Amino acid sequence: MSSFALYLQIGYEHIVNWKAYDHIMFIVALCAAYQLSQWRNILILITAFTLGHSLTLALATFQLILIPRNIIEFLIPFTILITSVYNVRQKPKEIGRKKVGLNYIMALFFGCIHGMAFSGELQMLLGKEENIVSELLAFNIGIELGQILIVLGIFVAAYLVLKIASIKHHSWNLALSSIAGMMSVYLMFENWPWG
């Protein structure tokens, strides 16, 4: 297996993993407000998230930015809470239309926060590598592929709930966003970095 393929696999397995439940929960919250017909918007949001994630992952891996891990571990659930509250406060007709630009900016910014969480582990893996840029790219592509798989899983669940069980999309959004929001509050208290 080539070094590129190895880091692609590591990135993919890093995200498609129950230990990454906070990252998965963020993707669920990010997708909850969108209808199935808005799949392009969701893919663009996920890509914006990955771009932010890739940027800070690279900067932190090259030690150009250093933020204490306990602060990052607190900020990650905070991003989930903000996304969940934002979803619940939006009117169904607004989702995916005039406010979609703000959603992309939020996804990009929150991706920056999430990216810093992976940097420590990636630094240890990349320590002996000669071509860090190639491995970093492969790792991020693996994460993006994993996120797309998670989004596909959310689409399947949404289809079953919305189409087959005839649940309204507003109820689906409210339920997913509320669950993600409550879990994020618990994680924020669990990872409280001050005192």
Q: Is 6 exposed, middle or buried (0-12, 13-18, 19+ CB in 10 A)?
A: middle
pLDDT given for residue 129 in this prediction: 60
What is the CB neighbour count within 10 angstroms for residue 39? Answer: 14
Q: Rounded to an integer, what distance in angstroms lies between the CA atom of residue 34 and that of residue 95? A: 7
Q: Rounded to an integer, what distance in angstroms lies between the CA atom of residue 146 and that of residue 7? A: 13
pLDDT given for residue 130 in this prediction: 63
CA angle, residues 170, 173, 178, in degrees to nearest 5 = 125
Amino acid letter for position 68: P
Q: Is the whole-model pTM more than 0.85? A: yes
Q: Rounded to an integer, what distance in angstroms lies between the CA atom of residue 129 and that of residue 115? A: 20
The per-residue pLDDT string of the chain (195 residues; one tens digit each, 9 = 90 and over) reads: 788 898 899 889 988 988 889 989 999 999 998 888 888 888 888 889 989 988 998 888 788 888 888 999 999 999 999 999 999 987 766 655 545 578 889 999 999 999 888 776 777 777 666 667 888 889 889 989 999 999 999 999 999 998 888 889 899 999 999 999 999 999 999 999 886
CB 85 within 8 A of CB 23: no
Instruction: Name residue, tokens 């399947």.
Output: 156
